[in-house]
């Protein structure tokens, strides 16, 4: 039995511990830095991320790598490794079943891996087609779906995140000529900007104001108002349209309750979608004038994860060809 020499001080303790460390821990720093000169920037970042020892040794050098292409290549490599681990874990969970990867077996799993978020989610966060895909291509509903900004544009979760204004109060999302007569078109802004202290405290809201010609109407004859609202060309939500009777009954309910203030001042009617999980509000202004306004506001949450409840309440399947192509392209 080999006897370990007794350590008399900190230097002796360090020498005794160094003998038990792996070989790459005992390599001189100058040698490691010289080896790094033969590596590509992506390999250099991978070497830094391999262990804590190399991270402390190389972090001053990796900060000099400012090329976005090299960092994207490194992140793709990390993503590939994480997806490989998730695929192996999924295969191990399905071992012993003769049927293989069937819909019934995949739905029986508690969690499935999402290649966009690089983390497992519950099965209900995936569509049926996404469940059958491999972990390398499987995206959750929030990442694979689109947000319909207006009747002209649809945006994915990545596009909305990139459109978040850094310093400006708001940012317009659609520059179609149909929005010129309105207040600039749909825009996104932080509703809790003056109160937020962190990124998680942000409350992003998508607002789409629309002006329309309002015919003369009265409390006893609201039919001209209904006809004027039915001609508005605006996207409301997944459950209501401007021409539906349900939407008119929804906006006219506050007016019916307050008969005296019907047409005295510039009338304002506020309502929200009756659907349980829909975070959409409708505000009518100046209904007593010829040029009335409808403002559609949708609460999007803090936009940190595509699995948030408020974001999923507005997500739908891509309808246009360009939107499908953007979703099919890996983020």
- 211 burial (CB, 10 Å; 0-12 / 13-18 / 19+) is middle
Residue 23 pLDDT more than 80? no
Indicate if the pLDDT at residue 10 is higher than 50: no
User: CB-based contacts of 122: which residues, under 8 Å, 6+ apart?
Assistant: 110, 111, 112
Among 287, 290, 309, smallest CA distance to 300 is for 309
Over range 99-122, report the average pLDDT. Answer: 75
Q: What is the pLDDT of residue 1?
A: 38
Alpha-carbon gap, residue 108 to 123, rounded angstroms: 9
Q: Which position has the token pair 């996404």? A: 130
Q: How confident is the model at residue 87 (pLDDT cuts 50, 70, 90)?
A: confident
Q: Say which residues have a Cβ less than 8 Å from residue 298's Cβ, sequence separation at least 6.
A: 205, 206, 207, 237, 279, 280, 281, 314
Q: Residues near 45 by Cβ (< 8 Å), separated by ≥ 6? A: 62, 65, 70, 71, 74
| Residues 282, 215: Cα–Cα separation, whole Å | 20
Greatest alpha-carbon span in the chain: 103
C-alpha span between 133 and 223 (Å, rounded):
51
Enclosing H/E stretch for 32: helix 29-36
Nearest to 237 by CA among 192, 268, 206: 206
Q: Tokens 């246009």 appear where?
A: 320
Q: Residues 113, 123: contact at Cβ < 8 Å? A: no
pLDDT at 157: 92
Flag the least confident range among 101-105, 246-250, 314-318. Answer: 101-105
Q: pTM of the predicted model, to two decimals? A: 0.70
- The rounded percent of the chain whose pLDDT value lies above 90 is 4
Distance CA 236, CA 242 (A): 7
Domains of the chain in sequence order: 18-62 (1.20.1280), 68-139 (no CATH), 144-328 (no CATH)
Ranges 122-126, 128-132, 323-327, most confident = 122-126
Nearest-CA neighbor of 197 among 87, 65, 302? 302
Query: For residue 20, how far is the Cα from the chain centroid?
Result: 47
Q: How many contiguous H segments (helices) and E segments (strands) does the chain have?
A: 13, 11
- In tens, the pLDDT along 304-316 reads 889 888 999 899 8
pLDDT of residue 100: 57
Least confident range of 14-28, 179-193, 211-225: 14-28
The pLDDT-based confidence of 193 (bands split at 50, 70, 90) is low
């Amino acid at each position: 039995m080999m006897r370990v020499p007794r350590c008399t001080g900190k230097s002796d303790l360090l020498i005794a511990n160094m003998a038990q460390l792996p070989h790459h821990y005992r390599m001189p720093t100058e040698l490691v830095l010289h080896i790094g000169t033969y590596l590509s920037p992506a390999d250099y970042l991978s070497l830094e991320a391999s262990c804590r020892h190399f991270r402390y040794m190389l972090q001053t050098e990796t900060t000099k790598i400012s090329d976005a292409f090299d960092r994207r290549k490194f992140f793709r490599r990390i993503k590939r490794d994480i997806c490989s681990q998730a695929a192996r874990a999924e295969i191990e969970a399905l071992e012993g079943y003769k049927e293989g990867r069937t819909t019934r077996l995949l739905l029986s799993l508690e969690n499935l891996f999402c290649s966009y978020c690089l983390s497992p989610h519950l099965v209900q966060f995936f569509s049926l087609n996404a469940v059958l895909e491999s972990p390398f291509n499987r995206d959750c509903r929030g990442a694979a779906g689109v947000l319909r900004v207006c009747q002209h544009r649809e945006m994915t979760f990545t596009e909305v995140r990139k459109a978040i204004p850094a310093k400006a109060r708001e940012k317009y999302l659609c520059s179609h000529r149909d929005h010129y007569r309105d207040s600039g078109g749909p825009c996104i802004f932080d509703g809790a900007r003056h109160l937020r202290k962190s990124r998680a405290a942000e409350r992003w809201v998508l607002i789409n104001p629309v002006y329309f010609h309002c015919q003369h109407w009265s409390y006893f004859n609201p039919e001209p108002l209904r006809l004027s609202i039915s001609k508005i060309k605006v996207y409301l939500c997944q459950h209501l349209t401007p021409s539906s009777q349900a939407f008119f009954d929804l906006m006219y309910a506050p007016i019916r309750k307050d008969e005296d203030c019907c047409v005295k001042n510039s009338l304002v009617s506020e309502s929200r979608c009756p659907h349980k999980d829909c975070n959409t509000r409708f505000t009518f202004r100046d209904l007593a004038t010829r040029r009335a306004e409808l403002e559609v506001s949708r609460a999007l949450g803090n936009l940190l994860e595509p699995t948030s409840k408020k974001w999923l309440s507005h997500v739908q399947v891509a309808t246009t060809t360009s939107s499908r192509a953007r979703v099919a392209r890996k983020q």
